Amino acid sequence: MKKIVIYVFLIIGICFLIPIFFTTKFKIKKKNIEEPPVLLDIEKYNYTDFETIKLLHNSTNEVEEVNLDEYIAQVVSAEIPVDYDIEAIKAQSVAARTYTVYRIIHGSKHEGADICDSASCCQAWISKEDRISKWQDDGINKWNKIVEAVNSTVGEVVTYEGQIINAFFHSNSGGKTETPNNVWGGGDYPYLQSVETSGEDAYSQYSSEVTLTREELLNKLKTKYSDIQINFDLDEEIQILEYTESGRVSKVKFGNHEISRSRSKKHFRIKSNKF
């Protein structure tokens, strides 16, 4: 008799869950659909059309018009260590050029400029003079290596179905990349899906650590959640509640608050949500 009652409850439960499953799935799918506007036919793509770029310098709020390949060299020199293999620097040049041309075609986040010089907003950037002086030794030869990588890939961009892609890039994925939707929300890109990447553990910044005292942790959280309370005697007061498909944290519980991935990363200055 007891078993029958359990089965009846199970069936009732499943009946409630089925519509929830379908409606949730439908909603997620609907949100992810983003038809990219066909703005450039790759057959008609002519790199010489993109001679200069309007670059916003965040520190001064000034917009500078720079030759595109000079700009790409400056970006590449800021994004990748110069002692990497020339083929890696060439790949970085193509990624940086693709991202830049995409921004020019699809419009910028910045009024009056195509792109800005901030790594956390658009792409890292450093002037040639600053770059060479920061390298200290052998600066000219190092700069020439960057220029060689940029020049030997002139005009090369990454495309998907005849369109230039939105080429986001990062230094290390921790072994598996994340879909942009799980990083910034918004649209999904068919060409940027989560994939496993080998060899990343050989990179010096593969892992890092942040250590905080209980007081430091609380104080950091209090800047955003003034009523936060954590009972440090109970294990369940701090716990990871949800992961994304790639194994990154999407929701974490701190006492009486549940915090999303972006907030937890920002609060504790950790480099990745793969923690």
Q: Does residue number 121 form part of the binding site for Zn ion (CB under 5 A)?
A: yes
Using CB under 5 A as the binding rule, whether residue 122 contacts Zn ion is answered as yes
Residues with Cβ within 8 Å of residue 16, at least 6 apart in sequence: none
Alpha helices by DSSP H, listed for 126-224, are: 128-135, 139-151, 180-184, 214-222
Q: How far is the CB of 109 from Zn ion (least distance, A)?
A: 5
Nearer to Zn ion, 8 or 121 (CB): 121
Question: Residues 58 to 117: which contact Zn ion by CB under 5 A?
Answer: 116
CB closer to Zn ion out of 78 and 147: 78
In the complex, what is the shortest distance from the CB of residue 53 to Zn ion, in angstroms, rounded to a whole number? 12
- CB of 116: closest distance to Zn ion in angstroms? 3
Report the candidate in 258, 239, 238, 260 with the shortest Cα–Cα distance to residue 250.
260
Report in angstroms how near the CB of residue 125 gets to Zn ion at its nearest.
10
Assess contact for 55 and 71: CB atoms under 8 A.
yes
Maximal C-alpha separation, the chain: 85
The interface region with Zn ion, picked from 13-21, 40-48, 120-128, 232-240 by CB under 5 A, is 120-128
Please identify, among the stretches 84-92, 119-127, 245-253, 255-263, the one whose residues bind Zn ion according to the rule CB under 5 A: 119-127
Distance between start and end Cα atoms, the chain: 47
Cβ closer to Zn ion: 53 or 259?
Answer: 53
Pick from 58, 38, 156, 48: nearest CA to 105: 38
Residues in contact with Zn ion by the rule CB under 5 A: 116, 121-122
